[in-house]
Amino acid sequence: MNLSKDFNYEEVFMGVTQDRSKGFHKKIYKNKPELRRVVEMIKLKNGRILDIGCGGGLMTECLPEFYPNVEVYGCDVSRSAIKYAKKFGTGKVKYKPMDKKFPYPSNYFDACLSLDVLEHVPDDEFFIKEVRRVLKKNGVFFGAIPCEGQRFSISWFLAKIGFLDNLTFKHVGHIHPEYNHEYIKDMLDRNGFQISKIKFSERLPVQFLRYFQFMLPKEILEYFVGKDKAVNYYDRSVSIKDKDEAEDSIMKIRKLWFKLCKLTKPIDYVDAEYLTSFGTGAWKINVLAVKKEVRKR
């Protein structure tokens, strides 16, 4: 399950576990709709839950607060991410590095999570098969999965006209532009899962924000200063907090830009909380699926 070599996975995800101040999980819950969907959809009082592709443990570390009597596990292909997760974690999560095959026995977990992970995995069919293998009978899988091939989404339209259609691959490492809602449902069905609940998020207004707030500014910056210099101004503060930032004019503009971006958070919130049943053009599918019992002939 190796990620694309053109995408620096560790740079983006490995350092997101530093803030462990009291009540940090409430802040993450407020800002991350994927975590809210997990808590809403998975009702687990005891047993084991696994966060697959946990990165540095940003949301994984929140799970013990919402599932106090459940054993929480996290795994990731990045050894550095697991190192950081353990170093800055609360000690309530059991972390393991992983390769293509998950490092757990069969029929071990009551629930598995995959939050914005599947779109980075080349062998996604094997990934889903592994999820099913480690789940117990009637275990549940929750996936928050971008669907950039969904009809009437901005990425679908750009792919149709062949313009700026590589930005999500270039800047966030998504390697499955073919994903749409039906594709995900079919993949789960043919790999032994039955869909239980579906909610949608990130419709056109949010998609425009993603492009114009984060990806297009990077393209403009690379055009004017070059790719090698542009990376010094990307929003990597989580993973390089110990480094001094050069306070030049570009850095000042960058900081001001991200402050202005925070003003658009109400748009994200309304989209994620009040339009969850409206799937037309939605970039993300949040799906809960139950492991189906295979009948012996």
- Whether 15 shows a pLDDT value over 50: the answer reads no
pLDDT tens digits for 194-221?
A: 999 999 999 999 999 999 988 998 899 8
What would the pLDDT profile of 44-95 be if each residue is shown by its tens digit?
Answer: 999 999 999 998 898 999 999 999 999 999 999 999 889 888 988 889 999 9
Q: How far apart are CA 62 and CA 68, in angstroms?
A: 10
Instruction: Report domain extents, the chain.
Output: 9-203+272-291
More confident residue, 7 or 156: 156
CATH class of the region 9-203+272-291: alpha beta
How many whole angstroms separate alpha carbon 168 and alpha carbon 218? Answer: 12
Q: What six digits make up the tokens of 74?
A: 């996290």
Neighbours of 294 (CB within 10 A): 8
- Taking the C-alpha atoms of residue 109 and residue 73, their distance in angstroms, rounded to an integer, is 9
Q: Which of 54, 52, 109 is nearest to 86 (CA)?
A: 54
- The percent of residues above 70 in pLDDT, for the chain, comes to 87
Give the count of beta carbons closer than 10 Å to the beta carbon of residue 62.
Answer: 24
Cα 52 to Cα 56: distance, rounded to the nearest angstrom:
12
DSSP string computed for 103-146: SS-TT-EEEEEEES-GGG-S-HHHHHHHHHHHEEEEEEEEEEEE
User: Phi/psi class of residue 98: alpha, beta or left (left: φ > 0; alpha: ψ in -120 to 50)?
Assistant: beta
State pTM to two decimals.
0.88
Cα-Cα end-to-end distance for the chain:
33
